[in-house]
Copies of this chain bind each other. A is one copy, B any other.
Amino acid sequence: MKKSGVRSQESGEIHFNKVAIIGVGLIGGSLAMVLRQKGISSQIIGIGRGIKNLETAKKLGVVDSYTQDVKQGVKDCDLVVVATPVASIVNIVKDILPFLKNGAIITDVGSVKKAVVDEIEGFMPEKVFFIGGHPIAGTENAGVEAAFLTLFQSRKCILTPTKKTDKIALESIKAVWEAAGSQVILMERERHDKILASVSHLPHVVAYALVNAVADMKDLDENIITYSAGGFKDFTRIASSSPEMWRDVCLLNRGAILDMIKRFQATLSQLKRMIEAEDGEGMYKEFERAKEVRDSLKAAKVGE
């Protein structure tokens, strides 16, 4: 059996005859655009629950066809990209397995990897392959109308192979993300989850807690939120992300997030003690240290 998605010997390029994108939103839609523009797929089918979004995806030329029937949609596909909310990934993969052809590759884009990959590997059959993935990219907007070809360009994309991972399937998915312009990084799923807990999940939890702490300030008998300037508005932007999504992330990456919350609580308590003690020198050092992180990000041009 010839495996789909293998790089051709001649051109070095990756190709899939038929690709299903389950969840044609910002991420799924942008990846579909890459697959088409780079000639990686001859045929792209969009699968989702919302008919309006699917119609838009077709109208915009992001997909060739669409269906709301996931089992029908994945038939004959060589690659299935699961780009749905992270809590739904495991069940979707389980549901589609009986309908996949031999040699098909499934990949996901979920922002938690250990819980998802471990569960999926527990029930994967031999002749279908799963590669856990997470492109570190996004915008504030959702839906296929927000999708664009260069979303993944110069961004990191983390793939989390395990001992069970098929090497050729891994190479194929790596080639897809490289075609999207991403820097592909392979790492252990636990490591991925710790890193994301630090740079993404903790900031969101903190932003939610901060916005609510301020909203709870009822002493002043006035909506003090209307006085908010720069600082607080940045927090409210972060805290305006989907409550469903962040609930699911917190449930799925609970351990790593709790660990980071504890670390943050310690840093904050230290700063609080300095303020209590009027330790101007200590504060200055802490503030300057944080500022240097920003400058190092700028120097590295991370995600700008």
Chain A contact residues, CB within 8 Å of chain B = 136-140, 156, 191, 194-196, 198-200, 202-217, 219-220, 224-241, 243-244, 246-248, 250-251, 254, 257-258, 260-261, 263-272, 275-276, 278, 280, 283-284, 286-291, 293-297, 300, 302-303
B202 touches A295 (CB 8 A): no
A211 to B287, CA, bound (A): 9
Residues of B within 8 A of A286 (CB): 208-209, 212
Partner of A238, one of B212, B230, B265: B230
Once A234-B234, A283-B250 are accepted as A-B contacts, the answer to whether A272 and B290 lie under 8 Å apart by CB is no
Identical subunits present: 2
Residues of B within 8 A of A239 (CB): 287, 290-291, 293-294
B246 touches A212 (CB 8 A): no
A293 touches B225 (CB 8 A): yes
B244 touches A284 (CB 8 A): yes
Contacts A209-B264, A212-B289, A213-B264 aside, 20 further interface pairs with beta carbons under 8 A come to A191-B220, A195-B220, A199-B214, A199-B224, A204-B231, A207-B290, A208-B287, A212-B267, A212-B286, A226-B300, A229-B303, A230-B303, A233-B302, A233-B303, A236-B293, A239-B287, A244-B284, A246-B287, A258-B275, A265-B272
A203 touches B234 (CB 8 A): yes
